[in-house]
Chains A and B, each alone.
Chain A
Amino acid sequence: MTFDQILFYCLAAIAIISALMVITRRNPVHSAMFLITTLFSVAGIYLQLHAEFLAAVQVIVYVGGIMVLFLFVIMLVNLEVVSTERRFNKQWIIALIASAVLLVEFGYVIVRGGKSSLLPPVTGPAQDLTRKNSEQIGLMLYQNYMLPFEIASLLLLVAIIGAVILAKRRLASDK
């Protein structure tokens, strides 16, 4: 077993175990902490796949932005209300069936896809491992994907305005 594989198995094991913890813990703060561990190990796997820029963005945006937002909201609401949930409820049969169907489907695709080479040849800028990953992504983002980039910025603006309006406390004078 090479070092690459050992690293992959470690990261994958951490990701799966903490994902299991996310969905079995009753306290949402614990779930959030374990989700952060999952996100970190996925960032490690990105590094292994030579996607250094995405690994950094994953840590900055997901862990530093989204998860902190989650923790803010958890602390904004009353924790005693939140943590009185039962761990298993009636829905677990449906959950099991849904995930079993999905797993069989994924397994079928992966097993069948491994033997065939039906993937059509894709044309596009290839990743040049001798150059910096973020440099190449930046060039592509501002050359080939300029319009989607601008639309994404507009979408974020809409999301900011929407979030402010939704979470705004209604004033007494409004009524």
Chain B
Amino acid sequence: MVPLNYFLILAAILFCLGVIGFVMKRNLITMFMSIELMLNSVNLTFVAFSRHINVLSGQIFVFFVMVIAAAEAAVGLAIIVAFYRNRESLNVDEVDRMKL
């Protein structure tokens, strides 16, 4: 039986790696992947606590977070494609106007 703390520490490390990737990267697609990494680490925390206190609701929340992640990926990647079509670039520094 692995203690709860181990899962929390793993989730914390994954979240921090996601933050580093999000701030350091200049490429829109890789930044998006870092966001997915952070979402995953939060999901891991949810499942670990759900197991620890033996309440199933945490797993339902993870299910909804996954739904949100799917919707976010669809809309976000569509925005990236539209941006690339107009600027021929994926550098986040060039995203300075709302108008396409």
- If the complex has contacts A16-B14, A31-B30, A81-B88, are A38 and B37 also in contact, measured as CB distance less than 8 A? yes
Q: 9 pairs across A/B with beta carbons < 8 Å?
A: A20-B17, A22-B33, A22-B37, A61-B69, A62-B69, A99-B19, A110-B12, A163-B77, A167-B78
Question: Shortest Cβ distance from A119 into chain B, in angstroms?
Answer: 7
Complex-state Cα separation, A140 to B23, whole angstroms: 38
Query: Per a CB cutoff under 8 Å, which of B10, B30, B74, B91 touches A69?
Result: B74
A 151-175 to B, binary, CB cutoff 8 A, 1 in contact else 0: 0100110111011101101000000
**Neighbouring A residues of B77 by C-beta, 8 Å:** 69-70, 73, 163
Q: Closest B-chain residue to A97, C-beta based?
A: B23
Q: Closest A-chain residue to B82, C-beta based?
A: A166
Complex-state Cα separation, A81 to B82, whole angstroms: 16
Question: Shortest Cβ distance from B79 into chain A, in angstroms?
Answer: 6
For chain B, residues 11 to 39, give those with C-beta under 8 angstroms from any C-beta of chain A. Answer: 12-21, 23-27, 29-30, 32-34, 36-37
Known contacts A49-B50, A57-B63; 8 additional CB pairs below 8 A are A19-B17, A57-B66, A77-B90, A89-B26, A98-B19, A122-B55, A125-B55, A152-B67
Complex-state Cα separation, A107 to B29, whole angstroms: 30
Cβ of B98 within 8 Å of any chain A Cβ, yes or no, is no
**Neighbouring B residues of A51 by C-beta, 8 Å:** 47, 50-51, 59, 62
B23 touches A102 (CB 8 A): no
Chain B contact surface mostly: helix
- If the complex has contacts A77-B84, A166-B82, are A23 and B56 also in contact, measured as CB distance less than 8 A? no
Q: Report the count of interface residues on A (CB-CB < 8 A).
A: 85
B 81-97 to A, binary, CB cutoff 8 A, 1 in contact else 0: 11011001111000000
B20 touches A66 (CB 8 A): no
- If the complex has contacts A19-B14, A73-B77, A82-B29, are A99 and B56 also in contact, measured as CB distance less than 8 A? no
Complex-state Cα separation, A76 to B84, whole angstroms: 10
**Neighbouring A residues of B90 by C-beta, 8 Å:** 77, 81-82
B56 touches A140 (CB 8 A): yes
**Neighbouring A residues of B29 by C-beta, 8 Å:** 28, 31, 70, 73-74, 77, 82
